[in-house]
Amino acid sequence: MSLRLLTKADLESYHFVLHHGYQQTKEFPISFEAADYSKEDSLKWLEAHPTYGWFDEELTSVLSLRMPWGAEPGPYGVPHIGHFTTHPNYSGKGYGRQLYQQVEQEILKKQLRTPFVTLGTAASHPWLNEMYQRFGFHEIARKQLTGKQHITIYYQKDL
């Protein structure tokens, strides 16, 4: 198993994992745009945001960082996690946790030396809030974002 920064050459597998990983959110009153991304949307995202993949022979999980200096910075001036999902065929195997832990250690702490990282998710999501709390994140704000069906909970993890 390994961590790798994804490139345009990974577009097919990235889009496949992203698309299938986010399909289950359509069952809930949640607005995650990634669930409806086209391949072109996925390419634009890969070109704009450092996106990491977790591989176990093939790509199983993905996680992107919205950088403070990028086109879509997070709300708190530090790297903000986005597009974090695992393909349903690999759910429950700990691949998402392993991906997050490696990005935290190797990228956020060692390379970027950021004091904390943030992410946002739907308050009504049935398992993500509990998962992020198990990962060591704590809630810092709630907000109804324009165009979203759900209330967004912002989380922070001190590094």
72 confidence band (pLDDT: 50, 70, 90): very high
Contact 62, 22 (CB under 8 A): no
147 in a domain, yes or no? Answer: no
Judge whether 43 lies within some domain. Answer: yes
pLDDT digits (tens, 9 = 90+) for 10-23: 999 999 999 999 99
- % residues pLDDT > 90 (the chain): 84
The answer to the question of residue 134 being in a domain is no
Question: Mean pLDDT across the stretch 113-140?
Answer: 95
pTM of the predicted structure, to 2 decimals: 0.94
Tell me: pLDDT of 25 over 90: no
Sheet holding 80-86, edge to edge: 2-5, 51-56, 58-66, 80-86, 116-122, 151-158, 138-144
Q: Rounded to whole angstroms, what are the CA distances from 79 to 57, 60, 62, 115?
A: 28, 22, 16, 10
Q: How far apart are CA 155 and CA 90, in angstroms?
A: 25
| Tokens matching residue 120 | 């946002």
User: Using CA atoms, how far apart are residues 104 and 157, in angstroms rounded to an integer?
Assistant: 10
- 140 falls within a domain: no
Asked, for residue 20, whether it belongs to a domain, the answer is: yes
Q: Where are the alpha helices (DSSP H) in 53-112?
A: 95-102
pLDDT at 30: 82
In a domain, 61, yes or no: yes
**pLDDT for the residue 71:** 87
Counted domains in the chain: 1
- What does the pLDDT look like over 130-140, one tens digit per residue? 999 999 999 99
Q: What angle do CA 111, 85, 81 make, to 5 degrees?
A: 40
Range of the structural domain that residue 89 is part of: 2-114
CATH number where 26 lies: 3.40.630.30
Residue 151 lies in a domain: no
Mean confidence (pLDDT) of the chain? 95
Assess if residue 7 is contained within a domain.
yes
